[in-house]
Amino acid sequence: MTLNKRISKSNNKTKTTWNIINELLGKQQSMQGMQKLIIDGTQLTNQQDIANAFNKYFSSVNNSVSNSDKLTSSNNQQDAT
């Protein structure tokens, strides 16, 4: 199939065009997961363990920011009185 036909038959012409460009440039997408993660000296290699570690970290960041916002809001209310 020619490149023009491939693009014209595509439902997402922009994506198809970029896929063709990347193919012609020799770029290939890699869907490889992270091979290992070291946290506090402990090496994680299991994909599920790595995902859980990221989840735990980003959940704690969210909680930390949320609690910080509550403290700031509380302090602002006290200053207003």
46 and 62 both lie in a single domain: yes
Given a cut of 70, whether residue 72 has pLDDT beyond it is no
50 and 74 both lie in a single domain: yes
Cα–Cα distance list, 73 to 11, 64, 77, 81 (Å): 48, 14, 6, 13
24 and 42 both lie in a single domain: no
Please give the distance of CA 10 from its chain centroid, rounded to a whole number: 27
Q: Which domain holds residue 10?
A: 1-31
Determine contact, residues 25/42, Cβ cutoff 8 Å. no
Determine contact, residues 20/6, Cβ cutoff 8 Å. yes
What is the rounded average pLDDT of the residues 10-36? 86
What is the spatial distance between Cα 39 and Cα 57, in angstroms, rounded to a whole number? Answer: 11
pLDDT digits (tens, 9 = 90+) for 35-59: 899 999 999 999 999 999 999 998 8
Reduced to 3 states (helix: H, G, I; strand: E, B; else coil), residue 38 is strand
What is the spatial distance between Cα 32 and Cα 43, in angstroms, rounded to a whole number? Answer: 18
65 and 80 both lie in a single domain: yes
Domain count, the chain: 2
